Amino acid sequence: MPNMTESEILDKFAQIVAKSLRIDASRIAPDTHLSDLGAESLDLIEITMETETQFHIFLPDKSILETAVEVFGPGILEKNGYLTEEGKRLLLCRMPEADSAAFEGEVAVKDLQHYFLKVGTWVRMIQGLAQYTPGECEACGASMVPSMGFRMKCAKCGQEITLRSGEELNREWVREYYDREYRAQAGVTVSVTAG
């Protein structure tokens, strides 16, 4: 469903969260944090699975920071449990302007969990991934319906596609950022094999 608006996604996601946590959907707004609504790990697993099913997307298991640390190597984006300037720069490049306050001053990596559990962060992530889920078949234009696993199938001609995983897309974004923004500006000449 690549054409859903942010508010349609928010409504649908709020229904998922409300059902899972047994609360009223009206309590859920873009700046609400799932943890503040009482969501615990099992709830988050349920919310993740239900979101994947309903939006036909494949959410990443790791946060963008965790993936970025794997690509950059240790000590560059975070040091002693705190974000470095480089780490902040990467997250700011990825997150909307409105969220920049979350990265001011000393930012402990563990506190970012709270940020990543913000409803608006999920809505944006869902919207980003949904772009990769085709609504219509490329071959015949009929509707695509969910198939086994993370696949979509054309209801008419049977053409199948595999959904791109959030993890894979995050990694691609980080690698591109690494080459374009980090290696270029830092003048890093050592041959770091980013993959």
Residues that bind Zn ion (CB under 5 A): 137, 139-140, 142, 154, 156-157, 159
Q: Say how far apart CA 176 and CA 84 lie, in whole Å.
A: 20
Which is closer to Zn ion, CB of 98 or CB of 139?
A: 139
Task: Tell me the closest approach of the beta carbon of residue 2 to Zn ion, in angstroms.
Answer: 16
Least Å from the CB of residue 147 to Zn ion: 12
Residue with tokens 């995050």: 170
Name the 3-class secondary structure at 111: helix
Least distance in angstroms from the C-beta of 133 to Zn ion: 15
Q: How far is the CB of 155 from Zn ion (least distance, A)?
A: 8
Around 60, how many Cα atoms within 13 Å sit in the side-chain half-sphere? 21
Least distance to Zn ion from the beta carbon of 162, Å? 16
* Widest pairwise Cα distance in the chain: 55
Please identify, using beta-carbon distances, which residue of 160 and 179 lies nearer to Zn ion.
160
Instruction: Give the other-Cβ count within 10 Å of 97's Cβ.
Output: 7
Sign of CA dihedral 68, 74, 79, 81: positive
Smaller CB separation from Zn ion, 68 or 163:
163
14: its two tokens: 């709020």
Nearer to Zn ion, 27 or 151 (CB): 151
Q: What share of the chain is helix, strand, coil (3-state, %, to 5)?
A: 55, 10, 35
Of 139 and 186, which has the nearer Cβ to Zn ion? 139
Nearest CA-CA partner of 78 in 67, 92, 88: 88
